Amino acid sequence: MKFTINTAVVLALAFASGPGLTEDQGAIPWTVPKAGHTLSFPRDHGSHPDFKIEWWYLTGHLFSGERRFGFQATFFRLGQEPVEVVEGELFGTSQIYMAHMGLSDPETGTFLHEERLNRGGWDAGAKAGDLDVFNGNWSLVRTESGMELEGSIRTEAAFSLKLDPKKNHVVFGEDGISRKGPEGTAASYYITFPRLAASGSLSIGGQTFQVAGEAWMDHEISSSQLDRNQIGWDWTCIQLFDGREIMGYVLRTDEGRPSEFSKLVWVAEDGTLTHLKYGAYEWQPGGSWSSPVTGATYPVSPLIIAPDPAGGGSRRLRLLPVMEAQEMTGRAGGVSYWEGACDVRDEDSGELVGRAYLEMTGYADNIGEKLR
């Protein structure tokens, strides 16, 4: 991973202004998610510069014969002031764009990753009104059938993927917003394509593979992602072989307890959502991997226990990382976190029943301070 010498300073400025939500705090009036608001598409797949924090996040599992890969691609927009994006702006100061790419190759045990940070302008941007984001030569663009992703990791790897929805998008949150805390500002519009057919090419280690598989995409729009006492989260997206999906997370507080605003959601084959509050499901930490770079220890193999809305009983699902060393390290002031491809095992039958991506933040640093 390569940062410029000013990355720590720029990233600190990107988050320093705080939520900026109330007049009594003398802050900039950023827009916040409102219950009952109707999203409109494709407009809301695009950028929302009146909100402070926004990201477009993709993960997936790719196969070329017996060879398997996992990938992550995330585009962040970090608002400095709530304004409209000006088309053709060369060096904007109202938006900062960060992007992460990660690639897991369990056959060789290789995990590659890179981060970028740019001001708005000719080298990075996000279009309002439709999905069209880029950071250097990395891009994510909506097409007639789905979307196209172009990514690379320095000179070591590159991929070009078509991503076509096998299901329509869903919006998490019982009333249209995903609440992360008791304050109304700790919330997001949370739009997800839970199952995308992925196909294209991937180059790594001097070889080029034609790959196919499945991917997941999140788009979150907010002005303050976490409550004041939250320091990080454990999150997963699970794609079961039976055609259903699960999105679940545990928000961790500075008191060492899970937040009551943690959530797990089942997505049925027809897209119907079943939301479960924390307490109706369990997230039991499991496994242990310590990073030689950050020194953080991650519980890389959690057990999730949740009632199955289709069967009426309880499911016990174990996440098994395809390799343990899948940490994204922000060495120059960025955020360090674990983001990895996993298999999913039913603990009762012992069978593999799906694939997942697992994300764990706040173990190497307090991400809560940077997302409020």
Q: Tell me: the pLDDT tens digits for 55-79?
A: 999 999 999 999 999 999 999 999 8
Residues 83-133 have pLDDT tens digits of 665 544 445 568 899 999 999 999 999 999 999 999 888 899 999 999 999
**Rounded to an integer, what distance in angstroms lies between the CA atom of residue 23 and that of residue 57?**
32
pLDDT above 80 (res 226): no
Q: Is 16 helix (H, G, I), strand (E, B) or coil?
A: helix
Buried b / exposed e along 164-174 (16+ C-beta atoms within 10 A): bbebebbbbbe
pLDDT given at position 13: 35
Which three-class secondary structure state does DSSP give residue 370? helix
Per-residue confidence (pLDDT) for residue 260, from 0 to 100: 87
Banded pLDDT at 256 (limits 50, 70, 90): confident
Q: Which tens digits make up the pLDDT trace of 270-325?
A: 999 999 999 999 999 999 999 999 999 999 999 999 999 998 799 999 999 999 99
Question: How would you class 53 by CB atoms within 10 Å of its CB: exposed for 0-12, middle for 13-18, buried for 19 or more?
Answer: buried
Instruction: Give the residue with greater pLDDT, 370 vs 356.
Output: 356
Q: Where are the beta strands (DSSP E) in 65-172?
A: 67-79, 91-105, 110-121, 124-126, 132-135, 138-142, 147-153, 157-165, 170-172
Rounded Cα distance, 319 and 237, in Å: 11
Q: By C-alpha distance, which of 11, 20, 17 is closest to 223?
A: 20
Q: Work out the pLDDT band at 5, boundaries 50, 70, 90.
A: very low
| Length of the chain, in residues | 372
CA distance 285 to 305: 11
**Domains in the chain, ordered, with CATH?**
7-32+41-370 (2.40.370.10)
- How far, in Å, are 52, 116, 137, 191, 247 from residue 166 at the CA level? 31, 30, 27, 15, 17
